[in-house]
Structure 1
Amino acid sequence: MRRIAFNEGWSYKKLDIDEEFKNVILPYDCMLRENRSDDSPGGCNNGWFEGYDYEFLNEFERPVEKTVVIEFEGIYHRAEVYCNGEKVGYRPNGYLGIVADLSNALKQGKNQLRVISRGADIPNSRWYTGAGIYRPVNLYTADENYIPLNGVKIKTLSINPAVVEVALAAHGDGEAKISVTNGDEMVAEASAPANGSVRINIPDAKLWSPEAPELYTCKVEFNGDMCEQRFGIRVVTCDTENGFCINGKRVILRGACIHHDNGLLGAATFTEAEERKIKILQKCGFNAIRSAHNPCSKTLLDVCDRLGMMVMDEYADSWYVHKTKYDYAGFLEEWYERDITDLVEKDFNHPCVVLYSLGNEVTETAEKRGVELYKAMQKVVKSLDTTRPVTCGINIGFNQAAYKGHSFFSDEKANRNAEDFKNLGTEKSNHRKWMFGPLFTRLNAILPGCDKATREAFGAMDVAGYNYGILRYKHDRKKYPNRIILGSETFCEDAEKAVKIMTRDKCIIGDFVWTGMDHIGEVGLGAFEYCEYAPTFIHTKGWLTSGSGRVDITGKPLPEAYYMKAAYGLLKKPVIAVKPVNHNGERHSPSGWKFTEAVESWAWTGCEGKKAKVEVYACGACVELYLNNRKVGSRSLKKHCRVKFNVRYKSGTLTAIVFDNRKREISRRSIYSVDDATELRVEPETEKAESGKLCFVRMRLTDTNGITKVLKRERIKVKVEGGELVGLGHACPYNDDGYTGNETGTYYGEALAIIKAGNGDKISINAVCESGTATSEIKVIQ
């Protein structure tokens, strides 16, 4: 089918509210533009955004082809699609697409599409969902005989020799011509029945792997219709003898859980944002992501295919027990067969997808009904795809409580929390998390009854998903020698221990930290903030993001990310981080998910003589720390890749030197104090941008040497010519401004702007703050 991008020509407004339609280009997150209020029932879950229902309209001419199909990749949620007043599509799930055949509803000349998305029914999620048509839309056209969406499926049968099976499901009968190319090189040709399959040998095949993500293109021609499908040649195996393998080679999943939003862009899905996110996570040492806790976008899968990032695609956060009042629990049992079918159809040809997960912290698995539901859903997966293992993330402590009749989740609690949403973020309850969160959660997994509450569910899975269950690994591996275990959700500080366990035991196949990148909603969950940036520790509407990421909401890796990279044995040079010297002795906001509030800086002006708590992350035998060429001390790295030093702050240079076992220097790194001058710098991440595409611009308050002044706070106003400012903000989880204005504060001296390139030859950026003005330009490629 011929694909036509259908993202322009749209307008929207709030449903049943008297207001003007606004013209928009999709994808578009309506919720990000709404007011945040302490009276919003979404509360801490969605960042206090108010929720509304929306109506989208688009008028267009009927294409000349006989068959016209539209695909909405994501509308949140309970979406309805009308064509010329006729209802042609509906889906309650906000993360799976709607594919609607418009052929019979269209007329000659002008036609109208009307889409309704529901968002007034909050709370409907435990995190920020966004609202509206937030993923791309495509129109597909064809004549009578054609290859429909998902009509080509490609499966690797073997890698030595490399043989793939191409299965076709066309509208119409006849022969289809198939060709396989690698770039411009033709590597194989074949023919097959339009509703049949064929095996194709690929000579001298280049295999897909995380290290070498080689991709081929399969072109299918049938009765004048043509379809191109990218694929990779690779085989996934997972067993007790060899562990998790790609193409026969063991791979440890160094994973990061991520939510679907794109930071300052909200839930809107853009290729450039997804690609930037994956590249940042890869630089931090991650080789896998978990789409917590919903199906990810096609755009993200395309990026992961190209870059070699493995994906665990997840289905749902709730089954039939509500976690929030209006979540998907009211729909799953009726819709799971179609949902899972569409999930697998979406993922099937993507080599990056290596695991399916059917749920997250679903305490239903502590009872027979829930286990039977898991088996039924897994059966649907296996009927469509036998090439990937299936799992489900189980919070073992939650299951134990549910098994004993004290479930953490229930419909009653969900209803009560919806009424009492203002009390969900009290400082008292969050202080308990801060004091006992990690330890309490770990210990919950080894309480009496945990085994009984999980063994039936784990026994049904290809891979047992343990959320925060690291203390059970040794016990359960001994008791259940045929069980394969995945750390489906874990604490950052457990990374070193997890790596050692996974290295020893092939049946512990990976670890997914919560989280890889910060996200909107679940506000303050992982934040260590001082009163300077967060005037209240009660999670009211000023709080916007979780703060849980190893990478902050602007895409900057935090020291925790370097700790994890060191734990993986991948950190080439030491990283030095310092707890804010200006806040010594002060209490920060509570969290059980934060590892350290240290900042990669020695620019603590005005703190001369104060105690500085220094952390160094490194791979080697030992590390020595020097302040202005005077040795502070030495620490062994044999047991831990994170070591600590106490030193009195003094301006100058702080240097860490790493040595091997023979006392030979491996590497070193220095951080520096700043001079008195302050200037604003505007630093685009790329020199060029395609018209209509996004570019990301870092803004920093620095000294004359370009060193960030982390203690400097100023307001920055941004003006853009030749493009559109689509996101502006800083990384602090407490953020009254939001991300849709033209002015922002700074956080530890930094902020980020996101700009969509226009149709001219350049983008001009002008930023103004108290310390001065800075400008920059980005060349636009048409």
Structure 2
Amino acid sequence: MNRIPFNTGWMCRPAASEAEEVPVTIPHDAMQWDPKSADSPSGVNSGWYSARDYLYTKHFSSADIRRSSGDLTLLEFEGVYRNARIRLNGRLIASHDYGYSGFYADLSEYIAEGDNVLTVEAHNSDQPNCRWYSGTGIYRPVWLCVMPERHIMPDGVRITTVDYRTRRIAVDVRTSHPGVVYVSVLDVDGRSMAQFKALSDRLDGQGNLMHEECVIPDVRLWNTDEPNLYTCVVRFGDDEQREVFGVRTVECDVRRGFRINGERVILRGCCLHHDNGLLGACAYPAAEERKVALLKGGGYNAIRSAHNPCSKALLDAYDRLGMLMLDEYVDGWYIHKTRYDYGTEVEANYRDDLADLVAKDYNHPSVIMYSIGNEVSETAQPRGIALTDAMTQYLHGLDATRPVTCGVNIFFNFLSSMGLGVYTDEKAMKEIEHSGKKKAVGSEFFNRLAGIMGADFMKFGATLPPCDWKTRGAFAVMDVAGYNYGIRRYRHDLNRYPNRVIVGSENLLLGCGAILGFGAEQSAADR
């Protein structure tokens, strides 16, 4: 695959106006152009920006694309916020609703001889649709991908550590046609560590598949202290793909905890949103690496993406610097947290979205776990428990090497079961009505209330017996139970559910010392 940056030569303007187009370079966050207003429907969550729809335009010549007859020509968008519509010469060629995942647009059949006009619509005027600063537009890189007719499928190379002790890895390659695949593993200096060839000829509905295992005796393992990386070079006919990977395994159980390469690791993590402060939502590699380096220097070894899939640049930084990653799919499910959020689409789109997530993450040794949601009080309901199970099992089918969790606010589940849910469709509607009146509803109201009543308010609420009743169904069908603000339940629940693995997916700093042995707090659930 010839993968070429496609980030320059773009023009941008608000879609609803005849304003003059302005030249921009991708990544670009158009929300920073929007006016600020005290009446902004999203209020403080968007930084008081009144978000709009934007139109991006790029002219390119067919002569600038080095391709032959039969070549496959794709555009890879790493992230467009949101409800993206891609047109080439006026024809709709791709649509993508979720603003935090990447996607491909196939140009192959639509490129005209001579000048071509590519347009990207980003629809973000329906507000509020997010509980934090989202940004607007093409805020992550764009790539032009050209590959021959006989090619390796996009995201078609996967490397799996089979046994860290013997340094055995498996390489899976999907190709458009049957044929011989050549594989080389290179170290950081480009020296060959292993090479082999095998036949791609197993049809599985997604192309032809090659699966081969090999032992690389001299390979050095990847971990947080020594993040050793290698490059897998795959050749198929005239096509080539390169994937950076690390040799490591992930395991977790109730007896030995979380382990990398058999060694127990205590996760010292934080929840990290995707924006870069004054740079907005743009995913600049240097800015992403700076965040990781600062956190690593501060003693962190793990990050949870809050509350959406992170950028490829951030994953690359995690791999290089030895940071562990819990990549999260989405903030909410079918109960709206804001009026125009992704809740309407989740049940219809989650399979495609999770496949996109795994395709992005699979070869990154830093990614240790998937999270399917954040504070989704749907997990207190039979419908939500069934969705938890469906997402978990679907992820297992896509990637059997990583456990699945979900960040469940234990207290919120109890409140939801009492008809007092922090998130409801009705409250999402009221958020719009109150936006200009400076009244808080939903999570903003609850956050203010918790701030007034203190940290113990959330922690004590989670110890109430009904919190157990309204979470155990969902926790039983995920690999790792994600506890949001449930720190006082750990000892009690580990006794009651001896086979439950728990991760503190979100916590207040106050009280964490008790779990780490720096103090003693007794849970109401223990008394």
- On whether the aligned pair clears a TM of 0.5, the verdict is yes
Percent identity over the alignment? Answer: 45
Which of 187, 191, 194 aligns to 1:185? It is: 191
CA-CA distance at 1:179 after TM superposition = 0.4
Confirm or deny that 1:397 pairs with 2:402.
Answer: no
Which of 75, 88, 96 aligns to 1:83? It is: 88
CA-CA distance at 1:205 after TM superposition = 1.7
Q: Which residue of 2 aligns with 1:495?
A: 512
Confirm or deny that 1:485 pairs with 2:502.
Answer: yes
Alpha-carbon distance in structure 1 between the residues aligned to 2:377 and 2:278: 33
Q: Which residue of 2 aligns with 1:64?
A: 66
Which of 383, 400, 417 aligns to 2:397? It is: 383
Aligned residue identity for 2:66:
V
CA contact (8 A) 1:252 1:502 kept: no
Query: Quick one: structure 1 residues 189 and 368, their matched pair in 2 at CA, closer, same or farther if it must change by over 3 Å?
Result: same
Q: Which residue of 2 aligns with 1:451?
A: 468
Query: Quick one: structure 1 residues 368 and 425, their matched pair in 2 at CA, closer, same or farther if it must change by over 3 Å?
Result: closer
Alpha-carbon distance in structure 1 between the residues aligned to 2:293 and 2:16: 42
CA-CA distance at 1:276 after TM superposition = 0.4
- CA deviation profile, 1:717-768 (whole Å, cap 9, x unmatched): xxxxxxxxxxxxxxxxxxxxxxxxxxxxxxxxxxxxxxxxxxxxxxxxxxxx
Aligned residue identity for 1:169:
R
Matches within 5 A, 1:238-387: 238-387=252-401
Which of 415, 439, 458 aligns to 2:456? It is: 439
CA-CA distance at 1:435 after TM superposition = 3.0
- CA deviation profile, 1:482-508 (whole Å, cap 9, x unmatched): 1111110011223322322999xxxxx
CA-CA distance at 1:415 after TM superposition = 0.5
Q: Which residue of 1 aligns with 2:14?
A: 14
Aligned residue identity for 1:454:
T
CA-CA distance at 1:93 after TM superposition = 0.4
CA contact (8 A) 2:31 2:136 kept: yes
CA contact (8 A) 2:222 2:229 kept: yes
Q: Which residue of 1 aligns with 2:44?
A: 44
Which of 210, 220, 229 aligns to 2:243? It is: 229
Which of 399, 417, 420 aligns to 1:406? It is: 420
Which of 161, 169, 184 aligns to 1:156? It is: 161
Q: Secondary structure at the match of 1:311?
A: strand
CA contact (8 A) 2:434 2:440 kept: no
CA-CA distance at 1:99 after TM superposition = 0.4
CA-CA distance at 1:42 after TM superposition = 1.1
- CA deviation profile, 1:1-23 (whole Å, cap 9, x unmatched): 10100000101100021100000
Which of 423, 431, 449 aligns to 2:438? It is: 423
Matches within 5 A, 1:500-649: 500=517
Q: Secondary structure at the match of 1:364?
A: helix
Confirm or deny that 1:96 pairs with 2:111.
Answer: no
Aligned residue identity for 2:478:
M
Alpha-carbon RMSD: 1.7
Alpha-carbon distance in structure 1 between the residues aligned to 2:147 and 2:476: 47
Query: Quick one: structure 1 residues 214 and 19, their matched pair in 2 at CA, closer, same or farther if it must change by over 3 Å?
Result: same
Alpha-carbon distance in structure 2 between the residues aligned to 1:359 and 1:428: 21
CA contact (8 A) 2:75 2:106 kept: yes
Aligned residue identity for 2:82:
H
CA-CA distance at 1:269 after TM superposition = 0.4
Alpha-carbon distance in structure 2 between the residues aligned to 1:432 and 1:264: 29
CA-CA distance at 1:330 after TM superposition = 0.7
Alpha-carbon distance in structure 1 between the residues aligned to 2:511 and 2:108: 55
Query: Quick one: structure 1 residues 121 and 290, their matched pair in 2 at CA, closer, same or farther if it must change by over 3 Å?
Result: same
Alpha-carbon distance in structure 2 between the residues aligned to 1:188 and 1:432: 59
CA contact (8 A) 1:44 1:425 kept: no
Q: Secondary structure at the match of 1:211?
A: coil
Alpha-carbon distance in structure 1 between the residues aligned to 2:121 and 2:447: 37
Report how many residues are paired: 503
Structure of higher CA gyration radius: 1
CA contact (8 A) 2:81 2:98 kept: yes
- CA deviation profile, 1:222-271 (whole Å, cap 9, x unmatched): 11111111100000000112100000000011001000001110100000
Aligned residue identity for 1:468:
Y
CA-CA distance at 1:55 after TM superposition = 0.3
CA-CA distance at 1:137 after TM superposition = 0.4
Alpha-carbon distance in structure 2 between the residues aligned to 1:132 and 1:274: 18
Q: Which residue of 2 aligns with 1:474?
A: 491
Query: Quick one: structure 1 residues 213 and 401, their matched pair in 2 at CA, closer, same or farther if it must change by over 3 Å?
Result: same
CA contact (8 A) 2:513 2:519 kept: no
CA-CA distance at 1:279 after TM superposition = 0.3
Query: Quick one: structure 1 residues 438 and 315, their matched pair in 2 at CA, closer, same or farther if it must change by over 3 Å?
Result: same
Which of 441, 465, 472 aligns to 2:482? It is: 465
Alpha-carbon distance in structure 1 between the residues aligned to 2:448 and 2:140: 37
Q: Secondary structure at the match of 2:517?
A: helix
TM-score with structure 1 setting the length: 0.63
Q: Secondary structure at the match of 1:193?
A: strand
Alpha-carbon distance in structure 2 between the residues aligned to 1:472 and 1:424: 33
CA contact (8 A) 2:310 2:327 kept: yes
Larger helix proportion, structure 1 or 2?
2
Question: Can you give the 5+ residue segments of structure 2 that lack an aligned partner in the other structure?
Answer: 201-208, 521-527
Q: Secondary structure at the match of 1:442?
A: helix
Alpha-carbon distance in structure 2 between the residues aligned to 1:41 and 1:431: 18
CA-CA distance at 1:429 after TM superposition = 8.0
Q: Secondary structure at the match of 1:492?
A: coil
Q: Which residue of 2 aligns with 1:53?
A: 53
Q: Secondary structure at the match of 1:81?
A: strand
Aligned residue identity for 1:35:
P
Q: Secondary structure at the match of 1:50?
A: coil
Alpha-carbon distance in structure 2 between the residues aligned to 1:302 and 1:285: 19
Alpha-carbon distance in structure 1 between the residues aligned to 2:418 and 2:507: 24
- CA deviation profile, 1:282-305 (whole Å, cap 9, x unmatched): 111000000010001111111101
